[in-house]
């Protein structure tokens, strides 16, 4: 039987950056074409969040438009149920219904994340931006929010807290941070190639950038993009072959 948390669509929020629109759309396609349950996908488009009280100016260390706005997800979900946030530079290779098993087994946690423990292999990433190293780096690039347990993330708090306070999850107790297997946020270019990864994260730069056209798993991302662009009515898109 397929796992379920409610009859409502599974809520997915994806960071949207105006320099990487193709990444957002390909990730969305990879989620929808594998889903066996209703899924709602919402882009976190910075200009549209002002009406939700997000007034924070983009800081010099924020590498994307959604570096901070991801922490508005519980507010945007009315602090109810579970929601998933994903960076846009990802590719989903499985049915997200699999993730619900993790949620059902950790109902007392405020968030579920892949708890990476690594030092970035490079000092720069896409667009030549500085690759900042800090504890719990990349934990916040894939977050399953148990929204009612994230009440601290009000718009006022998200507007004023430091980036490190937000990304290091100092707004909850450490014991409220649950764990997801690393396959749910596999760091391409930082970890070895992995055909079992459930979500590939092109964290240093994806194949939509010329400099990263030959990165690990670039063929999977291009296959997904091509399937999205060539889909025909009544003909299912080719699925990514792991």
pLDDT at site 242: 47
Residue 204 CB contacts under 8 Å (≥ 6 apart), including other chains: 120, 121, 122, 125, 126, 131, 188, 189, 190, 212, 215
**What integer is the mean pLDDT of 75-100?**
97
DSSP code of residue 140: G
pLDDT at site 1: 47
- In which region does residue 107 sit, left (phi positive, over 0), alpha (psi from -120 to 50) or beta (all else)? alpha
Q: Which architecture, in CATH terms, is 10-230? A: Alpha-Beta Complex (3.90)
CA distance 172 to 153: 10
Where do the structural domains in the chain lie, given as residue ranges? Answer: 10-230
Q: For the whole prediction, is pTM greater than 0.75?
A: yes
Identity of the highest mean pLDDT range in 132-136, 137-141, 238-242: 137-141
Q: What is the pLDDT of residues 164-213, one digit of tens each?
A: 999 999 999 999 999 999 999 999 999 999 999 999 999 999 999 999 99
């Amino acid at each position: 039987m397929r796992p379920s948390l409610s009859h409502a669509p599974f809520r997915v929020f994806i960071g949207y950056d105006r320099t990487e629109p193709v990444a957002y759309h390909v990730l969305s396609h990879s989620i929808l074409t594998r889903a066996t349950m209703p899924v709602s996908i919402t882009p976190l488009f910075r200009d549209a969040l002002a009406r939700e009280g997000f007034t924070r100016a983009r800081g010099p260390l924020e590498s994307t438009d959604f570096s901070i706005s991801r922490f508005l997800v519980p507010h945007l979900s009315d602090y109810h149920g579970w929601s998933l946030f994903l960076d846009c530079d990802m590719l989903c290779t499985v049915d997200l219904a699999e993730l619900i098993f993790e949620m059902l087994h950790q109902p007392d946690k405020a968030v579920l994340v892949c708890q990476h423990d690594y030092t970035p292999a490079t000092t720069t990433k896409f667009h030549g931006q500085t690759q900042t190293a800090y504890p719990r780096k990349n934990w916040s690039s894939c977050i399953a929010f148990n929204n009612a347990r994230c009440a601290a993330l009000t718009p006022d708090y998200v507007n004023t807290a430091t980036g490190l306070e937000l990304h290091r999850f100092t707004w909850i107790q450490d014991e409220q941070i649950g764990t997801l297997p690393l396959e749910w946020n596999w760091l391409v270019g930082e970890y070895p190639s992995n055909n079992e990864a459930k979500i590939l994260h092109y964290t240093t730069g994806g194949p939509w950038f010329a400099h990263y056209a030959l990165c690990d798993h670039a063929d999977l991302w291009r296959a997904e993009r091509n399937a999205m662009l060539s889909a025909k009515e009544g003909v299912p898109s080719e699925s990514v072959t792991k």
